[in-house]
Amino acid sequence: MDVTLHDIHKTFGRVHANVGITLHVPAGTIQGILGENGAGKSTLMKILSGFIRADRGEIRLDGRPVVIHSPSDAIRHGVGMLHQDPLDFPPMRVLDNFILGRHGGLSLGRAAARRDFRQLAEQFGFALDPEAYVDALTVGERQQLEILRLLWLGARVLIFDEPTTGISAAQKEKLFAALRLLAEQGRTVLFVSHKLEDVEGLCHKIAVLRQGQLVGEVRPPYKTALLVEMMFGKNIVTGERAPAEPREVTLHLDSLSAEDNRLAVRNVSLSVRGGEVIGLAGMEGSGQGLFMRAICGLTRPTGGRIRVGGRDLTGRSYLSFKRHGVAFLPAARLEEGLVPGLNLTEHFVLAEEQRGFFVNWEAGRALARQRIGDFNIRGAPETTVESLSGGNQQRALLALLRLPLTLLLLEHPTRGLDIESTIYIWSKLRERCAQGTSILFISSDLEEILQYSDRVLVFFSGRVTPPLEAAALTSDRLGELIGGKGWPEKGRER
């Protein structure tokens, strides 16, 4: 289906999120929508998918002007959207998720739906069990489910909002293959992303948004420098890696083992020196999260010893790890890291050691103002954390860490952030390293792992490689290991 957006305007309060955007996407095209966070990509897509109404402008499908009142209205017109966090029902079965929302009689018609599901899944090469529970699926598999569901509902235009966030490299390949197939079938794909490599590798043309405006459209061959300039209005240089000078060992793991009810990580031995950065790579849920939680006392290890700065902390609580200079920043910033509803000043007051019974708000505000400046957070001391953007939430989390730290554990430190924020976050992390803090971080972004780590541990369903020198590692080799290929024989690993 042919999609035309004509002169779309949308304002939220004083923010002009979409300023007269006009875009034409012919049927069978994969259209990239590129822009940094807050550029207006999501607003534009939400207008097309019926979540919000434009203040002005027109949507034409196959040349016919349409008014879309709601998401379910959009799907009636053949427009479906996949959200970054798939809008499905985790405690329910795949098949029930698939059926839910489809019109029909009183009965669920599970048998017929299962047949259609199998057929569609086969078409795209998705291996999904219709009887599995959605909360046992990876984000990538949940996306696959949503694709199939929207197609079953008759979607001819599919919008993907940051679909490569939080999925593995192998799943990304599968997703891209599916998107290409959709385009071949004459469907229209809108691919929203801030990741250059993704849009460059996939899209037939790319529209770049900046501050609510369409900067321009680009067709292949793409020049990365040009795209970056269009996105940010300036050139950005990524920092160079400085070789870490040998310092003393901050973290020593001796045959550490940990397990939860899903998998077990066994016998990991590792010595990390001050200032060193260790990347933990692997598909989501391969054991790296468990491993990290075991290192900081959030999960009790089932074997082995943990020494931090020469002190044995095995079996201690997170609190005592924290007292010895260990900090953990979880991936779920708002759920596990920050306290929604409290503002920045209140966060800094909570994080700092307080003397006396009454809170010194004056000092708290001053501290907040200073850290906001230091970390370039776009917000005021009175801003509540949930109203900050993802990048600014991450900056706030870093700003909340006390000095000095022995060991900093980060889970997906730059997930969902644009390039500028990513670079900024890493420059701040590098400052920490220079002060002697060791960093362990989890990422599903291969480039990030290779660019910022000194050494890399790869996880695959609970198995762990010995520490690999990042400098000697290629992204192909890393991708293979993550996908479970090229591992040493079982029983001889680690």
Residues 461-490 that bind another protein (CB under 8 A): none
Q: Is residue 46 at the binding interface for another protein, with CB under 8 A as the rule? A: yes
Q: Is residue 235 at the binding interface for another protein, with CB under 8 A as the rule? A: no
Residue 420 CB, shortest distance to another protein, in Å, is: 27
| Gap between the Cα atoms of 135 and 317, Å rounded | 28
| Gap between the Cα atoms of 295 and 258, Å rounded | 9
Residue for token digits 């695959």?
460
Among 48, 52, 145, 313, binds another protein (CB under 8 A): 52
Q: Are 253 and 304 in contact (CB under 8 A)?
A: yes
Q: Is residue 133 at the binding interface for another protein, with CB under 8 A as the rule? A: no
Label residues 232-264 b or e (16+ Cβ within 10 Å = b): beeeeeeeeeeebeeeebbbbbbebebbeeebe
| Gap between the Cα atoms of 177 and 111, Å rounded | 28
Label residues 461-474 b or e (16+ Cβ within 10 Å = b): ebbbbebbebeebe
Residues 278-337 that bind another protein (CB under 8 A): 300, 302
| Gap between the Cα atoms of 355 and 363, Å rounded | 12
Stretch of 97-105, 179-187, 235-243, 450-458 lying at the interface with another protein (CB under 8 A): 97-105
Among 7, 22, 26, 100, binds another protein (CB under 8 A): 100
**Bridge partners of residue 329, in order along the sequence:** 410
Q: Which is nearer to another protein, 85 or 469 (CB)?
A: 85
Q: Is residue 15 at the binding interface for another protein, with CB under 8 A as the rule? A: no
Q: Is residue 13 at the binding interface for another protein, with CB under 8 A as the rule? A: no
Among 14, 63, 235, 261, binds another protein (CB under 8 A): 261
Among 13, 14, 107, 492, binds another protein (CB under 8 A): 107
Q: Is residue 71 at the binding interface for another protein, with CB under 8 A as the rule? A: yes
Q: Is residue 151 at the binding interface for another protein, with CB under 8 A as the rule? A: no
Q: Is residue 51 at the binding interface for another protein, with CB under 8 A as the rule? A: yes
For residue 38, is it left (φ>0), alpha (ψ between -120 and 50) or beta?
left
Q: Which is nearer to another protein, 160 or 375 (CB)?
A: 160
Residue 70 CB, shortest distance to another protein, in Å, is: 8
| Gap between the Cα atoms of 129 and 84, Å rounded | 22
Q: Which is nearer to another protein, 264 or 366 (CB)?
A: 264
Q: Is residue 106 at the binding interface for another protein, with CB under 8 A as the rule? A: yes
Q: Is residue 70 at the binding interface for another protein, with CB under 8 A as the rule? A: yes
Among 13, 14, 63, 105, binds another protein (CB under 8 A): 105
Residue 96 CB, shortest distance to another protein, in Å, is: 6
Q: Order across the sheet with 303-308: list the strands.
A: 264-273, 249-259, 303-308, 311-312
Q: Are 266 and 462 in contact (CB under 8 A)?
A: yes
Q: Are 478 and 281 in contact (CB under 8 A)?
A: yes
Residue 100 CB, shortest distance to another protein, in Å, is: 5
How many residues bind another protein (CB under 8 A)? The answer is 27
Residue 371: helix, strand or coil by DSSP?
helix
Among 26, 65, 104, 216, binds another protein (CB under 8 A): 104
Q: Taking each helix axis from N to C terminus, what angle separates 475-482 and 169-184, rounded to the nearest 10 degrees?
A: 90
Tell me the CA end-to-end span of the chain in Å, nearest whole number.
52
Among 92, 236, 244, 249, binds another protein (CB under 8 A): 92
Residue 380 CB, shortest distance to another protein, in Å, is: 25
Residues contributing to the site for another protein (CB under 8 A): 46, 51-52, 70-72, 75, 87-92, 96, 99-108, 261, 300, 302
